[in-house]
């Protein structure tokens, strides 16, 4: 740092009064790491990188590489749109308010993440920058390929399904996720109608990565037709004519 020193000579029988001002500069030769800025909480959906949050780093007199490590779930970069990794090596070059971009990685599993970003260089005091709790939400999947079968009114809400169920919405990164279960169709009510909604239940997701996804049970449509009724004539016994209509 720099300081100013002022020296004053009081007049006496030997010397005249005088004042002298000197500037003293002491250069810090010790390695140092400093940071500025506070990180924001992040949120994203599994398979999509979050938006960025950022802080700045300054260094000087480093004799060993500055290494920056991201906590689990996060990645960091010197560029806002590319080059993200779990660690960065900035070498020994002096940094002056260099921005470090932080985000949740697209491959981070569903959950809440936090921790410290650590900045280290042998010979300098390490610095930690805290991340706020940040969330990865499940990716939504649906089931397609099923249709409802129309039928006559029978007083029930059960519906027959046709087709083959297919998991739709995109499984990422070759994740181990499988559609399990058997679809059960149910009309919204038992009454006659055209284009009635059929709700389908019974499907689940299984596999080691199933927790990274959510499943929306499908719906389809079908008709409940009017039930045809008929009247049967009663059986009448033959008789000998007796002049009566009975």
Distance CA 122, CA 92 (A): 11
pLDDT tops 70 at residue 214: yes
Question: What pLDDT score does 2 carry?
Answer: 64
> What is the phi/psi pair of residue 138, to 5°?
-65, 150
Question: What pLDDT score does 29 carry?
Answer: 80
pLDDT tens, residue by residue, 223-232: 999 999 888 8
Q: Which residue has the higher pLDDT, 115 or 9?
A: 115
Relative to beta strand 151-152, strand 219-225 is parallel
> Which of 77-86, 201-210, 236-245 is the least confident region?
236-245
Distance CA 80, CA 163 (A): 47
pLDDT tens, residue by residue, 83-118: 999 999 999 999 999 999 999 999 999 999 999 999
Question: What pLDDT score does 87 carry?
Answer: 98
pLDDT tops 70 at residue 139: yes
51-55 long-range contacts, Cβ below 8 Å, gap at least 24? 51/103, 52/80, 52/101, 52/102, 52/103, 53/101, 53/102, 53/103, 54/99, 54/100, 54/101, 54/102, 55/99, 55/100, 55/102, 55/117, 55/129
pLDDT tops 80 at residue 14: no
Q: Which residue has the higher pLDDT, 211 or 240?
A: 211
Q: 10 Å Cβ neighbour count for 243?
A: 4
Question: What pLDDT score does 19 carry?
Answer: 74
Q: Which residue has the higher pLDDT, 11 or 156?
A: 156
Percent of the chain surpassing pLDDT 90: 80
Average pLDDT of the chain, as a whole number: 92
pTM, full prediction: 0.80
Question: What pLDDT score does 27 carry?
Answer: 57
Q: Answer yes or no: are the C-beta atoms of 88 and 77 closer than 8 Å.
A: yes
Q: 10 Å Cβ neighbour count for 120?
A: 16
pLDDT (average), residues 130-142: 98
Question: What pLDDT score does 13 carry?
Answer: 67
Q: Report residue 3's pLDDT band, with 50, 70 and 90 as the boundaries.
A: low
Question: What pLDDT score does 236 carry?
Answer: 73
Question: What pLDDT score does 26 carry?
Answer: 53
Q: Answer yes or no: are the C-beta atoms of 131 and 69 closer than 8 Å.
A: no
């Amino acid at each position: 740092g720099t300081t100013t020193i002022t020296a004053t000579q009081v007049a006496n029988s030997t010397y005249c009064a005088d004042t002298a001002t000197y500037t003293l500069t002491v250069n810090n030769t010790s390695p140092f790491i400093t940071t500025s800025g506070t990180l924001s909480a992040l949120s994203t959906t599994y398979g999509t990188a979050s938006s960025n949050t950022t802080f700045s780093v300054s260094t000087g007199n480093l004799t060993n590489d500055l290494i920056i490590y991201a906590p689990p779930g996060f990645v960091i970069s010197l560029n806002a749109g590319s080059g993200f990794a779990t660690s960065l090596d900035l070498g020994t070059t002096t940094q002056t308010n260099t921005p470090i971009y932080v985000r949740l990685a697209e491959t981070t599993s569903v959950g809440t993440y936090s921790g410290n970003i650590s900045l280290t260089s042998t010979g300098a005091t390490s610095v930690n920058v805290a991340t706020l709790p940040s969330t990865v939400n499940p990716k939504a999947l649906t089931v397609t390929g099923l249709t409802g079968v129309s039928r006559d009114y029978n007083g029930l809400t059960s519906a027959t399904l046709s087709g083959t169920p297919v998991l739709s919405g995109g499984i990422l990164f070759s994740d181990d996720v499988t559609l399990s279960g058997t679809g059960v169709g149910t009309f919204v009510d038992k009454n006659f109608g055209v284009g009635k909604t059929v709700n389908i239940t019974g499907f689940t997701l299984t596999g080691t990565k199933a927790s990274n996804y959510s499943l929306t049970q499908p719906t389809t449509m079908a008709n409940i037709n009017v039930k045809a009724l008929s009247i049967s004539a009663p059986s009448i016994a033959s008789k000998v004519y007796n002049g009566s209509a009975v």
